[in-house]
Structure 1
Amino acid sequence: KRTGTRRRYQDDGISDDEIEGKRSFDLEEKLQSDRYNSDLVKIMDGKDFTLEYIQREGLRDPIIFKKADGLGIKMPDPDFSVSDVKLFIGSRRMVDVMDVNTQKGIEMSMGQWRRYYETPPSEREKLYNVISLEFSHTKLEHLVKRPTSVDMIDWVDNMWPRHLKERQRDSTNAIIEMQYPKVQKYCLMSVEGCFTDFHIDFGGTSVWYHILRGRKVFWLIPPTPQNLELYENWVLSGKQGDIFLGDKVTISFLFFFLSQQKLLEEHANDNPKLSYTGKPIVKWPKRVGYTL
């Protein structure tokens, strides 16, 4: 659960022990556990991920593409850095940042985030993670193209009034300025050791990821009725920092997602480094018995 509490970076002097929700389980121990496997994941070639495939199969299982060939994506060069992100979106852009230990949010300017990111690990007092920098309507937008098949099925592109989307001028996600669901292109920036707790995106929307540099680790839980009930109880308990949800469900899956691999999934996760993602708003039939 990601709570709504948010502070400014310069006010972030409260110790972790003073904040309810600090994680008490050992994440490294979970990574080494043999309890999880990767049987749920489907490996595909990009050329096979077509609109016809999606219409026939739905988006029921996580899919990994080991190469970009055939997907129609466009990405910055692998040496594209956080400093480059700052140049393309502006040093004053305010960024939502998560405190990894408490899963609570603060705000930094992009300039502050770049300085934090480039601080040697031994000198960082806390672990911070950026998972929601939406960069449509910035210069960075022109360096990233999502998979062609994703363009074909996104409700924002296919159903939302086009004149409203074209009216959008503000590059931030300020609700008062938003003319359409601005959720199509995100840049995630994580230092080593970052963790994002289990969550469901936007009522179960599907997500695509491309890791530009580094590695991400995902835990996935099939959305069976039993698992969804366990998830609901876990969220409502207020004890997410004490209970690792992957240990409570009947089955969960762990897999490592390396630089230059692509993923389409319905999701929950953990992260080191720099990646691009988007949340196409789509709905396809789930596997029988699954409801989101």
Structure 2
Amino acid sequence: MPARKQGLRARAQRHAAVGDDGKLLFDHPAFKDLLDSHATCSSPHVEKETVTVDDARNGFDVPVIVRKPHKANLGLRMPKPSLSPRDVANATCPKSLIPILDVKLQTSQKRASLDEWCQYWERTPRAKVLNVISLEITGTVLGAQVKAPDFVDEVDWSATAWPADAPPSTFKHEGCGCDGGKRIPTLVTARRMLGLEPLTKGDEEEGDKVQHKNSARLLSPPRVRKYVLMSVAGSFTDFHVDFGGTSVWYHVLRGAKRMYLAPPTEKNLDAFKRWTRGSQREKTFAEYLTGKVCAVDLHEGDTLIIPSGWIHAVYTPVDSMVFGGNFLTMSHVPSQLRICSVEDSLDVAPEARFPNNGAVMWYALLRAADALNESLAFDADDHSERAWAAFRRAPSTIAERSGLKLLASFLRKTLQSSKFAAGVTAPPDEIADVCTYATLDAVDAMLKGERCVDVVQKGVLIKGVSTLGLSAATLRCNVRVPQRFHPDNRASLMEAGGARRRKPGELKRRAAAVAGRFVAACAAAARAEDAEPWQERAERRRVERERAAAHAVARAAAAALEMPPLPPLKKPRSAYLRLPPFVEAGETVDVPLPPSLLTARRRRQGPATTRVVVPADALPHRVMKVLVPADDMDVVVGAPAPAPPPTVEEIRAAYQREQAAAPRPPPRPAPPPREKSARQQARKRARAVTQDS
């Protein structure tokens, strides 16, 4: 009779990482081998030298790793690698209570002061394997020494969308009395957990009697941007998804980490919900995924960016110090809302969710709508810095525009339901009740390319350049439309407080059709502008300065020699030009110039072009930034180029040659005597008779 096959659970019982009671031993060294046996697929991560804002606005599909040699490209600012937990305590508050993760139980119910945690860290051997993963340091001396990557500051909702006049985030002193609160004595069970006092029976499963809820401050930004993680060797954090579907940046200051990752597919999220509802102490999450887990090793100085929704676990082989932070972006709205739905189905406690998630969503919607509304106010042919800055602030990528549309639809559903979804609060107080639906209607209209003016009759008066923007209901409307689109040659459809003279529907659609096509193209051209090496830019500006100085000397010499004044120096102009269709990279083509770059005399002579070499990065949108020579803007195309301005020696030599070779003009002949009139002759004769007499 053949041997009976055993299931996964029966096979796991014989593994050293499973105890006699059939439960996993997370703090056992053999547990890492069990995880590695499930990490059978190759890691889908990518390694880059840097992560730009454009990468974040397009969205991360897989985890990104920036190794230690390239960490300066991220714009990080970190303390010295020799930072110790004692330094962390001195730079924050040594008496503040912090949650301690018991690796064996995978719970954070017990708390201890930072001072006691330092005593535990400095002791060897340690009584238990413990971990600190949720110490937020914003508003402390240590927090001032830590700076998130540059791209996080540009896309994070907490940094960009939260009102600028809100009070800054401060460090939460829990149980120490430093902030004026009541001092909570350190529990004896916490000291026994850290190994500072002998263990007694029942301490392993006993939790703290005092529970502290992380009550979010409604006026301050969410405190999720700067965390310090202090992990001893053998620490393990079980599989989880970061709250609210946030993305994570993770920098290893000292030590090493091993990350186990699983993509947020529908099957994996369903397996995650089944595993969470079941007994997490009997099977690993990898068994629910039939081994489809990948592993990534991080060393000192490495930085990892985990996209929204990725299911991950962390193992610490040696004592490690790590800094990280969570952030929400417009490009990951589908994944963020999906994780919120998973949290709803699992009945996650409010204190374990993203703080003030509903307010952050509303603020992000309003700020994105303001930027989009402001970009629609400019004409596509407007090459001013203000126009291009508005185009760059507006949601321009496909991921951001689809995320804004989905976010508006989600918030509309929360308003229509009898109660708000779990984890989503009411709109902030800055938004009046009569403005919420009108604001969502305005966002839907702007995503179609329409400038937002119709919402005035619904109670919202919009001005895109305002700091409050759509979040205020007392602003005046002053919508700018290109002058050539208006029948009365007026630059505004509505004056402040005035009434409409004409129905602006058709004019608004025509203006938006022109500006809407340039939203993505402007972003691509701006990226190409930023990609210009600073060496080339400095060299180009140096040549321009030398040319201007030489021309000024030549003009001064001509004036000193009493020669005709030299014409003014013609300077090249920088402009964004549209390439002809069907061009290839490296091809030399003649690009037509807009009339705004031409002089009045050149405009009367017909269209003008400039010759450029097409770069590869300009092909997707067929827009590139060109430094147009002055001759192309002033001289007829095809005419010979004018001679360069003469030098001082040439001007002096030419003047001397002209003085020597020029013939002297002949003397002027004396004019013939003029014949006097009869009256003058009669007067002369009468005068002579009088003198004779």
- Structure-2 separation of matches of 1:109 and 1:21: 34
Deviation sequence 1:182-209 (CA, Å, 0-9, x none): 1000000000000001111123210000
**Structure 1 position 53, deviation (Å):** 2.0
- Structure-2 separation of matches of 1:60 and 1:188: 25
**Structure 1 position 126, deviation (Å):** 1.2
Q: Which residue of the partner structure matches residue 55 of structure 1?
A: 57
Deviation sequence 1:151-193 (CA, Å, 0-9, x none): 1000011111222243x44444842656221100000000000
**Structure 1 position 281, deviation (Å):** 2.1
> In 2 relative to 1, CA 169–142 (structure 1 residues): closer, same or farther, beyond 3 Å?
closer
Q: Which residue of the partner structure matches residue 81 of structure 1?
A: 84
1:243 corresponds to which of 283, 289, 310 = 283
CA contact (8 A) 1:223 1:291 kept: no
1:97 paired to 2:114: no
Q: Which residue of the partner structure matches residue 251 of structure 2?
A: 210
Q: Which residue of the partner structure matches residue 140 of structure 1?
A: 142
**Structure 1 position 79, deviation (Å):** 0.8
Q: Which residue of the partner structure matches residue 151 of structure 2?
A: 149
Which amino acid is 1:282 matched to? T
- Structure-1 separation of matches of 2:94 and 2:155: 34
2:322 corresponds to which of 269, 272, 275 = 275
Q: Which residue of the partner structure matches residue 259 of structure 1?
A: 300
Structure-to-structure mapping, 1:170-181, within 5 angstroms? 170-172=171-173, 174-175=214-215, 177=217, 179-181=220-222
- Structure-1 separation of matches of 2:52 and 2:173: 32
Which amino acid is 2:54 matched to? E
Which amino acid is 1:225 matched to? E
- Structure-1 separation of matches of 2:293 and 2:56: 24
Higher RCO, Cα 8 Å, sep 6+: 1
Which SS does the other structure have where 1:39 is aligned? coil
Which amino acid is 1:64 matched to? I
Q: Which residue of the partner structure matches residue 107 of structure 1?
A: 111
Which SS does the other structure have where 1:277 is aligned? strand
Deviation sequence 1:192-235 (CA, Å, 0-9, x none): 00000111112321000000111111110111101100000110
**Structure 1 position 125, deviation (Å):** 1.7
CA contact (8 A) 1:24 1:242 kept: no
Q: Percent identity?
A: 31
- Structure-1 separation of matches of 2:22 and 2:155: 38
- Structure-2 separation of matches of 1:146 and 1:171: 20
Q: Which moved more, 1:202-211 or 1:20-29?
A: 20-29
> RMSD of aligned C-alpha atoms?
2.5
Q: Which residue of the partner structure matches residue 10 of structure 1?
A: none
> In 2 relative to 1, CA 84–43 (structure 1 residues): closer, same or farther, beyond 3 Å?
same
Q: Which residue of the partner structure matches residue 8 of structure 1?
A: none
1:72 paired to 2:75: yes
Q: TM-score, normalised by structure 1?
A: 0.84
Q: Which runs of 5+ in 2 are unaligned?
A: 1-18, 175-213, 340-693
Which SS does the other structure have where 1:111 is aligned? helix
Deviation sequence 1:71-108 (CA, Å, 0-9, x none): 00011111111111111012112111100000111101
Q: Which moved more, 1:226-235 or 1:154-163?
A: 154-163
- Structure-2 separation of matches of 1:180 and 1:34: 40
- Structure-1 separation of matches of 2:41 and 2:81: 29
- Structure-1 separation of matches of 2:139 and 2:267: 41
1:43 paired to 2:87: no
Q: Which residue of the partner structure matches residue 371 of structure 2?
A: none
> In 2 relative to 1, CA 104–155 (structure 1 residues): closer, same or farther, beyond 3 Å?
same
> In 2 relative to 1, CA 219–262 (structure 1 residues): closer, same or farther, beyond 3 Å?
same
> In 2 relative to 1, CA 157–282 (structure 1 residues): closer, same or farther, beyond 3 Å?
same
> In 2 relative to 1, CA 154–35 (structure 1 residues): closer, same or farther, beyond 3 Å?
closer
- Structure-2 separation of matches of 1:28 and 1:22: 15
Which amino acid is 2:64 matched to? I
- Structure-2 separation of matches of 1:101 and 1:21: 14
Which amino acid is 2:314 matched to? D
Deviation sequence 1:31-53 (CA, Å, 0-9, x none): 5427434431110111xx11112
CA contact (8 A) 1:82 1:114 kept: yes
- Structure-2 separation of matches of 1:77 and 1:21: 44
**Structure 1 position 149, deviation (Å):** 0.3
CA contact (8 A) 1:64 1:263 kept: yes
Q: Which has the larger helix fraction? A: 2
Which SS does the other structure have where 1:68 is aligned? helix
CA contact (8 A) 1:59 1:206 kept: no
> In 2 relative to 1, CA 21–172 (structure 1 residues): closer, same or farther, beyond 3 Å?
farther
> In 2 relative to 1, CA 177–170 (structure 1 residues): closer, same or farther, beyond 3 Å?
farther
Q: Which has the larger strand fraction? A: 1
Higher alpha-carbon Rg: 2
Deviation sequence 1:6-56 (CA, Å, 0-9, x none): xxxxxxxxxxx9xx996347412225427434431110111xx11112223
